[in-house]
Amino acid sequence: MADPGILLARLLAGRPHGFTTREGGVSRGPWKSLNLSSTVGDDDDRVRENWERLRAATGLSFARVRQVHGCRVFEAAAGTDPVEEADAVSTAVPGVAACVSVADCVPVLLADPRSGAVAAVHAGWRGTIGGAAAAGVRTLVERHGARPGDLLAAIGPGIGPCCFEVSRELAERFRDEVGPTTATPRDHGARVDLWRANELLLRAAGLPRRHIETLSRCTSCEERTFFSHRRDSGRTGRHVAFISAVS
């Protein structure tokens, strides 16, 4: 049995976390192979087997949410199916992994080295500009007593500035609301850099630059490694990004 392909962040070394790839699952066709969503048309038994593999490889309980491109943070006391509507999960229970589902949207993992509390954030363009990553930071501060300057963050695989073409209007919003280095507004081929935008928003929330790692892996460019909602015109699987609390 193949192990699930999981990418790690250097900054989070020693903490149970990861970003899954397409590799190591049993799904076929557009969901090949480690699809972790049961709402994208894949066979339920295969999705269950993929989750079993991830659980076996990590030994974690996954706390998941029903994502709606918002900024609500769900506080998880145990592993749970995606029922609660939210776009981020926080927990301080050891062995419980805050988990979000992505395929182009940017996952952001946060860890507080002092309390062991963690958060996982789903940040597409709406969540990014709406401040989802900062909402994750705020939850760790308010609920778990974290200091923003202590937090570690990893910005995982998502659609990169190479491929994320948007309308001129949206690029202008990012330029004006997040910063000039996050967008190139043009009539044709305007781009937004969601990685950079989330980095700037985390720094504005109080994280030092050296506490933020961007993996810089584009889901749209790397077809063999990642699902991409945009590249695959919506017919594709989902990855997850997760990080477990520690005592």
Query: Angle 234-235-236 (CA atoms, 0-180°, nearest 5)?
Result: 100
Can residue 161 be called a binding residue for Zn ion (CB under 5 A)?
Answer: no
Q: Pick between residue 63 and residue 159 the one whose CB is nearest to Zn ion.
A: 159
Question: Min. distance of Cβ 160 from Zn ion in angstroms?
Answer: 4
Give the Cα separation of 35 and 25 in Å (integer).
Answer: 7
Residue 133 token pair: 């990553």
CB of 193 to Zn ion, least distance (A): 11
* 214-243 positions binding Zn ion, by CB under 5 A: 218, 220-221
DSSP state of 149: G
Q: By CB under 5 A, which span of 37-45, 103-111, 155-163, 190-198 interacts with Zn ion?
A: 155-163
Smallest gap from residue 195 Cβ to Zn ion (A): 11
In the complex with Zn ion, the residue whose CB is nearer, 24 or 160, is 160
* Residues 6+ away with beta carbon under 8 Å from 164: 104, 125, 191, 192, 193, 194, 220, 230
- What mask, x for binding Zn ion by CB under 5 A, covers residues 162 to 181? xx------------------
Q: Rounded to an integer, what distance in angstroms lies between the CA atom of residue 175 and that of residue 92?
A: 35
Binding site for Zn ion (CB under 5 A): 160, 162-163, 218, 220-221
